[in-house]
Structure 1
Amino acid sequence: MYRVRRALAAAVSVGLAVSLAACADSERGEGGEGDNNATLTIAGTGKPKNFDPIFNDDGESFRPARQIYDTLIQNKAGSAELEPALATKWDVSPDGKQITFTLREGVKFQDGTDFNAEAACFNLDRWFNMKGAAAQSQMIYYQDVFGGFAKNETDAGGDPYYKGCQATNPTTAVMSLNKFRGALPAALTLTAFSISSPTALKKYDADKVTQSGDSFTYAAYATEHPVGTGPYKFESYDASNGTTTLVRNEDYWGEKAKTAKLVIRTIEQESARKQELESGAVDIIDFPAAQDWKALEGKGMKVEVRPAFNVLYLGMNEKNPKLKDLRVRQAIAYAINREQLVKTKLPEGAEVAKEFMPKTLTGYADDVTEYKYDPAKAKQLLAAAGATNLSLKFYYPTEVTRPYMPDPKAIYTSIAADLTAAGIKVEPVARPWNGGYKDDIQQAGKHDLHLLGWTGDFNDAYNFVGTFFGREKPEFGFTDKAAFAAIAAADGEPDATKREEAYKQVNRDLLGKYLPALPISHSPPAIATAGNIDGLVASPLTDERFYTVSKS
């Protein structure tokens, strides 16, 4: 059964926003509403960092947030197509500098306060006016989409796109921009831009973020009292085992959740998640190993395979003087047998990535520089660069499974073996995903090489290449202002045809001229459920919302 769904997925263009919901519906049958008082238990792969979406950028933190909060605009279930959420419609001015949102009436936050235009503007203004370097450094998505703050307190901040927001009446909010932003309004579907209760934000001092070394501490709003307008309300979080408990929001403005309680357990090991599903201890597991898909279905489970709207890459930190030399980065690229890696370590349907975004996105270029496996050429380039004794710290994450990286250690081991064979000494550094890895990579830049990737959040080239390389980041140590300017120019080009060509040139330059990282693969991730679970719609964005799911 999963093979049929995967064949369909391979033909789906996410850029055309074709929904997978019909495929899911065809296999659900009549099903019924199930037990309205049931508890739905999901096994996630890592602990959430916190529950304030603006301070997060990873799927395990966004999984509970998507159930607690709503955004102004959302993606239609099973696709990347935009649809109304808290905003029933949005109108963009001819110059793209003003977006007028018509807001849904009668919506309440989970603390009983009203959602209205003032609340929408409060959230937008909150992000723009955020104070403190610690808080700003954690707002990765905000910096990527909106460029900068009212007062930048980190080196990463730039000129802000956001200008202001005006509530012209209770149901109309007008967002003004300083200049055209191609990624908007689609980027407002990002979970990071979920709308919080202004009353709760103020009551629990939400903007207070402190840093001690590489660790960050968040306010009570983010750890104990998140308040949105979504179908489930926050009840508790057990930090000792990473278990989040949510309960149905009986006052939800839309379709009420079909289960009374939603429990998200952290089970880091894929084999343990599978065993818990088979035993009936959990109802849904994310990212089952590809070799288990057929066996799970043979035991009565359901396996949904999402299209591969993602990329895995090997980052190369140019903070290291040796890696500043393009020839060394090219040598690393030639040293890696990506074809063999994809064939042996990734699911059926995975493919070698030519560039940093899926081919379904407008701006994908077929004629980029390619780095076929050639260890002899790698050694020649190292010799030419005077780097025959190259030694690199290679970071990889533990305690996590990602859609693009089902087994980080196995992928690291394969790449490290290739690099060693090319004469590069590799020092492994394994760090927990939300226990130091991301901060070491994205904040401190301690690494030389690292594994990371991305599942697309919205249907735009900027969401990939702009997120990675649109500005200077510790992750890559990449400082070429011409590259940043080219990406900004592509995003700021209102003519669709010119914009497409501009992004194609960006992709050509990233692979041929700069090579700040090496794209490894695009991999189709799966989600599996028990046989008595109905109503799940798998998302190419891994943007599943569980209020539609019933349990019989």
Structure 2
Amino acid sequence: MKNTRIFALIIALVSLLTLTACGGTTPAPSSSPSASPSAPANTDAANLADTLTFAQGAEPRGLDPALVDDGESSKVIVNIYEGLLKYAKDSTALEPCLATSWKVSDDGLTYTFELRQGVKFQDGTDFNAEAVKYNIERQMPGNATTDMTYADFVYGYVTKVEAPDTYTVVVTLKDKNTPFLSNLAMSMAAPMVSPKALQENNGSVMEKPVGTGPYSFDRWDKGQDVVLVRNDNYWGDKAKTQNVIFRFISDNSARVVALTNGEVDMIDGIDATVIDQLKSAGMTVDQPDGMNTNYMAYNVDSPIFSNAENRKAVSEAVNVPELVQSLYQGYASPADTILPSFVPGFSSDIKQVAYNPDDAKTILSKNGVTAVHIITYSNVRPYNTANGDVLATAIQGYLSKVNVTATIDSYDWTTYKEKVKAGDFDIAFYGWTGDNGDPDNFMSLLSDKDPAMNISRFNDPTYLELINKGKTTPNGDDRNAIYKQLEQIQVDQNPWLLVSHSKLLSAYSPKIQDYYYHVTGNVFLSQMTKLK
């Protein structure tokens, strides 16, 4: 998954999504939409460019929504694919998309979806109930492959999918699952892929994506860019710009220069050190609060950090508020809990372990901890705009003060994901951008069996029991209380040192109109335009 991914408009409070019949919802964590300042109305095609170029810090891992879990893939995916549901432009409230309506049985186990008619996949085949059935069954328990990271998260409770007619789908769950509808709007696992394309490509469309969205895939020049073209057969509002290019520029400074020179139109993954430079060049900087968490993970399977006392001691060695102010200069806030403050279940009563280097030094010396192996990533992330190298080096400095030597191995993002999964580390850095505004989306990371998601390999029976209880409890005070208990277990057991919740920083040219960067960290380009 599964991480938010930027203006002076701040994410407003969230009402809880309520599972009600016929698609009724109340707003979830809300964010004012990122949007460009009022620009002169100018829709004359002669005055608009035919291409938008968005530069990001890393190449996608792939473009099959069932087979990826990273934000760089997600930003491209949401412009090609769609799901049964979607999020509102300014929040994670649910809206119809490929399903026009839905209802839930009284026992909470059966979901009936009425589908939009007349929709075509970009290969010309029909979107219908059989296509939905194919997509869900592909990722159900027993069918999902090990590289389908989000399959269990989205479809793990599904026991049966039926297509009683061409435009009706009935999904049956084994237990109540409060986040289920919210999960169906996510950019991972939930988007609908052309069954024909999957069949023609041995079950994977990582490099040949086919969805129903406003843009179609044109080409992928590895190491350089992905090019999309307008889907003129799109069922909804057609894309306003003919071509979209996602360019990969790993170096932060180079990405800034590309924007200020006019080589690209929009960038993300920037940090506080370039804000003044961008503004002085006439660029607009977007910076809403992010639905994200930045953390340092202890590998509980390593000889050092299988001991909870050592995990606590290393956490005590790090002055988190000082670290956050130094690295992010006001564009992130120190984290005491996994959940951002506007996500249901957040509790201000939860406080992580306090800075205490003397105690850390005593415990680590007593337990013979003199060295640790750290792995990190070389690029910036939406939750860590200082980049992984900088964060790891800062932690290395704190550890040296308690007589622990930290060796650091750094990798590009794609390689790093594989290194994390392999598990050859004591400490690693990761983060999460919320997919759907539901607390389970954050807290389940520490219960997941997949080491690509639960990179600490944390496995606590009480935690697992509470996670399952939270998924089946209706939204409200009782459910919030469960997530407060889960947050306290995280503090007590300390599989992560929580670092920060960051603003979503991106920037764009003044030529861009209707800029839009969603609270989930995705960038939807179809309604943006660029003045010549």
Q: Per-residue CA shift, 1:167-186, capped at 9, x if unaligned?
A: 12222111111111121110
TM-aligned CA distance change 1:476 to 1:405, over 3 Å: same
Mapped to 2, the partners of 1:464 and 1:358 lie a distance apart of: 9
Counterpart pick for 1:451 among 408, 420, 429: 429
Counterpart pick for 2:518 among 536, 539, 546: 539
Give the aligned partner of residue 432 of structure 1. 412
Give the aligned partner of residue 216 of structure 1. none
Q: Which amino acid aligns with 1:175?
A: V
Counterpart pick for 1:257 among 239, 250, 266: 239
Mapped to 2, the partners of 1:422 and 1:95 lie a distance apart of: 55
The alignment status of 1:199 with 2:177, answered yes or no, reads no
The alignment status of 1:409 with 2:392, answered yes or no, reads no
TM-aligned CA distance change 1:529 to 1:25, over 3 Å: closer
Q: Per-residue CA shift, 1:368-414, capped at 9, x if unaligned?
A: 2422221111112224xx3233321101012x321111121111111
2:225–2:247 Cα contact (<8 Å) kept: yes
> Relative to structure 2, which stretch is displaced further, 164-173 or 194-203?
164-173
1:14–1:80 Cα contact (<8 Å) kept: no
TM-aligned CA distance change 1:71 to 1:347, over 3 Å: farther
2:446–2:458 Cα contact (<8 Å) kept: no
Counterpart pick for 1:355 among 330, 334, 337: 337
Runs of 5+ in structure 1 lacking a partner?
Answer: 148-160, 207-218
1:242 is displaced (CA, Å) by: 3.3
Mapped to 2, the partners of 1:28 and 1:526 lie a distance apart of: 21
Q: Which amino acid aligns with 1:467?
A: L
Runs of 5+ in structure 2 lacking a partner?
Answer: 1-5, 17-27
1:18 is displaced (CA, Å) by: 3.3
1:457 is displaced (CA, Å) by: 0.7
Mapped to 2, the partners of 1:495 and 1:285 lie a distance apart of: 36
1:468 is displaced (CA, Å) by: 3.2
Q: Per-residue CA shift, 1:25-63, capped at 9, x if unaligned?
A: 653452435556611111011011111111001011111
Q: Per-residue CA shift, 1:272-292, capped at 9, x if unaligned?
A: 011011111111111222232
1:78–1:538 Cα contact (<8 Å) kept: no
Q: Which amino acid aligns with 1:173?
A: V
Question: Following superposition of structure 1 onto structure 2, how do residues 392-541 of structure 1 map, counting pairs within 5 Å?
Answer: 392-398=372-378, 400-406=379-385, 407-435=387-415, 437-441=416-420, 443-471=421-449, 473=451, 475-494=455-474, 496-512=476-492, 514-541=493-520
Q: Which amino acid aligns with 2:56?
A: G
Mapped to 2, the partners of 1:460 and 1:288 lie a distance apart of: 27
Question: Following superposition of structure 1 onto structure 2, how do residues 31-50 of structure 1 map, counting pairs within 5 Å?
Answer: 31-32=42-43, 38-50=50-62
Give the aligned partner of residue 24 of structure 2. none
1:365–1:508 Cα contact (<8 Å) kept: no
Question: Following superposition of structure 1 onto structure 2, how do residues 143-162 of structure 1 map, counting pairs within 5 Å?
Answer: 143-147=152-156, 161-162=157-158
Counterpart pick for 1:339 among 276, 299, 321: 321
Q: Secondary structure at the match of 1:511?
A: helix
Give the helix-richer structure, 1 or 2.
1
1:527 is displaced (CA, Å) by: 1.6
2:272–2:331 Cα contact (<8 Å) kept: no
2:178–2:475 Cα contact (<8 Å) kept: no
TM-aligned CA distance change 1:467 to 1:95, over 3 Å: farther
1:14–1:79 Cα contact (<8 Å) kept: no
Give the aligned partner of residue 64 of structure 2. 52
Q: Which amino acid aligns with 1:202?
A: Q
Mapped to 2, the partners of 1:29 and 1:378 lie a distance apart of: 59
Identity value in percent: 31
TM-aligned CA distance change 1:31 to 1:478, over 3 Å: same
Q: Which amino acid aligns with 1:185?
A: L
Counterpart pick for 1:98 among 85, 89, 110: 110
Mapped to 1, the partners of 2:77 and 2:44 lie a distance apart of: 24
Mapped to 1, the partners of 2:42 and 2:336 lie a distance apart of: 42
1:347 is displaced (CA, Å) by: 4.6
Q: Secondary structure at the match of 1:458?
A: coil
Q: Which amino acid aligns with 1:9?
A: I
Counterpart pick for 2:165 among 162, 165, 169: 169
TM-aligned CA distance change 1:327 to 1:295, over 3 Å: same
Give the aligned partner of residue 213 of structure 1. none
1:515 is displaced (CA, Å) by: 1.3
TM-aligned CA distance change 1:25 to 1:279, over 3 Å: closer
Mapped to 2, the partners of 1:229 and 1:430 lie a distance apart of: 38
1:295 is displaced (CA, Å) by: 3.3
Mapped to 2, the partners of 1:130 and 1:475 lie a distance apart of: 23
Counterpart pick for 1:85 among 97, 105, 112: 97
Mapped to 1, the partners of 2:83 and 2:52 lie a distance apart of: 23
Counterpart pick for 1:27 among 29, 32, 38: 38
Q: Per-residue CA shift, 1:77-97, capped at 9, x if unaligned?
A: 232121111111221222221
Q: Secondary structure at the match of 1:272?
A: helix
Q: Which amino acid aligns with 2:206?
A: A
1:183–1:460 Cα contact (<8 Å) kept: yes
TM-aligned CA distance change 1:63 to 1:13, over 3 Å: same
Mapped to 1, the partners of 2:284 and 2:269 lie a distance apart of: 13
2:270–2:380 Cα contact (<8 Å) kept: no
Mapped to 2, the partners of 1:14 and 1:303 lie a distance apart of: 28
1:19 is displaced (CA, Å) by: 4.5
Give the aligned partner of residue 215 of structure 1. none
1:24 is displaced (CA, Å) by: 2.5
1:532 is displaced (CA, Å) by: 0.7
Mapped to 2, the partners of 1:392 and 1:231 lie a distance apart of: 48
Q: Which amino acid aligns with 1:516?
A: P
Give the aligned partner of residue 180 of structure 1. 176
Q: Secondary structure at the match of 2:375?
A: strand
Mapped to 2, the partners of 1:106 and 1:117 lie a distance apart of: 12
The alignment status of 1:120 with 2:132, answered yes or no, reads yes
TM-aligned CA distance change 1:37 to 1:9, over 3 Å: closer
Q: Which amino acid aligns with 2:210?
A: V
TM-aligned CA distance change 1:205 to 1:11, over 3 Å: closer
Q: Per-residue CA shift, 1:473-498, capped at 9, x if unaligned?
A: 46213222222122111222236322
Mapped to 2, the partners of 1:537 and 1:472 lie a distance apart of: 32
TM-aligned CA distance change 1:410 to 1:47, over 3 Å: same
> Relative to structure 2, which stretch is displaced further, 493-502 or 102-111?
493-502
The alignment status of 1:111 with 2:123, answered yes or no, reads yes
Q: Secondary structure at the match of 2:437?
A: coil
Mapped to 2, the partners of 1:117 and 1:65 lie a distance apart of: 22
TM-aligned CA distance change 1:492 to 1:395, over 3 Å: same
Give the aligned partner of residue 155 of structure 1. none
Mapped to 1, the partners of 2:522 and 2:456 lie a distance apart of: 27
TM-aligned CA distance change 1:421 to 1:267, over 3 Å: same
Q: Secondary structure at the match of 1:323?
A: coil
The alignment status of 1:222 with 2:200, answered yes or no, reads no
Q: Secondary structure at the match of 2:244?
A: strand
Q: Secondary structure at the match of 1:321?
A: coil
1:102–1:173 Cα contact (<8 Å) kept: yes
Counterpart pick for 2:215 among 227, 232, 239: 232
1:226–1:234 Cα contact (<8 Å) kept: yes
The alignment status of 1:301 with 2:283, answered yes or no, reads yes
Mapped to 1, the partners of 2:381 and 2:68 lie a distance apart of: 15
